Structure 1
Amino acid sequence: MHVFFICFILCLISAGMSSEEFVRGMLYVSLTVVGVPGNTAVIVAFLLLFYQENRLLPADAIVLHLACANLLVVGVRCLLETLASFHVVNVFDDIGCKAVIFIYRTSRSLSIWLTFLLSAYQCLSIAPPGSRWASVRTSVANYLGVLFLFLWILNTCMSSAGIMFSFSTHNASSLTNNGINVEFCYVVFPSKLSKEANGAAQVGRDVVPMVLMTVASMIILVFLYKHSQQVKGLRSSSGSRAGGGGGGGGGGSGGAEQRAAKAVVALVTLYVVLYGVDNGLWVYTLTVRKTMSSSLMSDLRIFFSSLYAALSPLVIIASNRKVNSRLRCVTQEKPVQEKGTSLATM
């Protein structure tokens, strides 16, 4: 009900706005009202889990970190764009532009790499015990904090262009074709070469984890297919021997692993689709001329890239039993002891 009330208030505020501003504002409203509560709920659920069990499994820590990055994407960019679109408040001066674009780009790319890390960890979790890949998974779990720090440093450094080349629209008097219009701010590069180099670096930063997580997801899908075939074979053989009485053994942890794998594949699929569109629009923005005159491409890019940050917590909430249990019964539930692979929490 409060969501409809907020939209009603914004509609009243929007009186006198142009249709383009209103549509832009409502798009960002939709991302904000879905993404902020969704990611906040995931974060609260895992903090409650940590409080109750005094530890987080590696997969839980990755998902918690992913939700924090997605909350920054939606909260910093979409919420502020919403307020500015409806002329409630505008923080997009020079400092505001630099801060918003820098935080947005850093958290967005961090979200991408964390999704890859989650898919890679899930892929390693299906390795047989005692194998080399199982030892790699143990090493990843032991050095997870170092990996988080490395990803923060990497993505922070690659987002530095947001600080150096971002300006407010009020101070963009001498614009060239080497800039990008992001509605409330301009990103103006000193030369065409620097613009293309920065664009190529951003595309590479997104494409590399996209390819890797796609490969990991394909491995997971092959494993799920083979596992389902084995289960069918066991059930048919046990059914022919004893009427099917022993075919359901071992389904507990196996079922949890399959739920985890399917959830990760769903996240990766969502990422590949939305960020594929986003990067296609980014390449178009870099190659066409006179992109400074219209912010349509920028609005579409921000919408599709932020859509992953808004929808991914819904996938997590729907598939993660730990999150579900703590969101349903915060005060009355007993701590759930789940064994097996750490990615069974998905």
Structure 2
Amino acid sequence: MTSNDLVLGLLFLFQTGFGALGNSFLLGLYSITFFIGPRLKFIDMILFHLAFVNDLVIVSKGIPQTMAAFGLNNFLDDMGCKFVFYLHRVARGLSLCTTCLLSIFQAIILNTRSSRWADLKARALKYTVSFCFLCWVFHLVAYYLALLNVNGPNRRKNITESNYFIYCSATIDAVFNVALYVFIISLPDVLCVAIMVGTSGYMVFVLYRHHQRVKYIHGNNLTPTFSPETRATQSILLLVTMFVSFYSLNSILTLHIQLGKPTSWLVHISAFLASCFPTCSPFVLIVSDSQVPRYFLALWGRIKLRVL
């Protein structure tokens, strides 16, 4: 094992541990709050789901990639490769859907003062669970078809018939792969990204208009105060920006890997980008979302009372 492999292994190990710690903290906090703490808001349930699927993304990509970076390339058989590939792809797609749902829901919350938007919020609350269920069903079915091309590293026939993903291989079938990637996977992903960009632009417009109104009413010398809705919107805008940036770069590299002859470094960079958003997102919420510290302080207060 070279020094470069050691650095890569330590980098993936740090990213995996750091991301799993942050998402697991949010999962534990929301779970305990749900049972013994203050009542969770509906948007917190969406954040709980986001933390859960992000944990799956990190575990399914980070752990195998860390072992491969340390030189352990043959630790999975055919079934292991299929399971890890399937779990990562499904979790990655669900992370995209959940982030998209989060941006839509927050854009609706910003406009609940009018009766039309209040009615839309009520409908969104009613159909959110159904939407999440449909996302699970769609990704579980869509990526099941992709398992036909995934094999263990020992099943690799030759360099012209498969793309090598370090610890697994994927057989190339140009017509099938292009049709699968474009029509079943890419189009829904592009639609979700477009919705996130649109809702983010709308939220920026609403916040800018609100800022201008406050500035006009109170004058230029008043220090602006931010409501919880504004702080939540800003944190979600940051999440969406991070997701779109990392997702776009990773998608470009993934497409190049599937259609070209990738190097091991290109595969490692793609894997690192795939785990950047799941790793960073929980800490964005912990630092910028006022609800997370509030839940933590409320639980800490209850624990102190029970101890005393």
Structure 2 counterparts to residues 59-70 of structure 1, below 5 A:
59-70=43-54
Partner of 1:211: 194
Structure 2 counterparts to residues 1-346 of structure 1, below 5 A:
17-53=1-37, 55-86=39-70, 91-174=75-158, 176-177=160-161, 179-189=162-172, 191-200=173-182, 201-236=184-219, 255-288=227-260, 290-291=261-262, 294-327=263-296, 330-333=299-302
Deviations 1:39-80 (A, max 9, x none): 001111111221234743220010000000000011122023
Cα–Cα, structure 1 residues 185 and 20, in superposed 2: closer, same or farther, change >3 Å? farther
Stretch moving more, 197-206 or 312-321: 197-206
CA distance in 1, matches of 2:254, 2:47: 27
CA distance in 2, matches of 1:51, 1:89: 43
* Structure 1: unaligned runs, 5 residues or longer: 1-16, 335-346
- Per the normalisation by structure 1, the TM-score is 0.80
Cα–Cα, structure 1 residues 90 and 316, in superposed 2: closer, same or farther, change >3 Å? farther
- Per the normalisation by structure 2, the TM-score is 0.89
* Structure 2: unaligned runs, 5 residues or longer: 304-308
Question: Cα distance, 1:259 vs. partner?
Answer: 0.2
Question: Cα distance, 1:22 vs. partner?
Answer: 2.2
Partner AA of 1:172 in structure 2 = R
CA distance in 1, matches of 2:212, 2:114: 24
Q: Which has the higher helix share?
A: 2
C-alpha contact (below 8 Å) 1:275/1:305 kept by paired residues = yes
Aligned residue for 2:29, secondary structure, equals: helix
Identity of aligned residues (%): 25
Stretch moving more, 219-228 or 132-141: 132-141
Partner of 2:306: none
CA distance in 1, matches of 2:178, 2:73: 33
Aligned residue for 1:176, secondary structure, equals: coil
CA distance in 1, matches of 2:176, 2:293: 47
CA radius of gyration, larger in: 1
State the aligned residue count.
302
Question: Cα distance, 1:102 vs. partner?
Answer: 0.2
Aligned residue for 1:184, secondary structure, equals: coil
Partner of 1:5: none
CA distance in 1, matches of 2:76, 2:8: 16
Question: Cα distance, 1:198 vs. partner?
Answer: 2.5
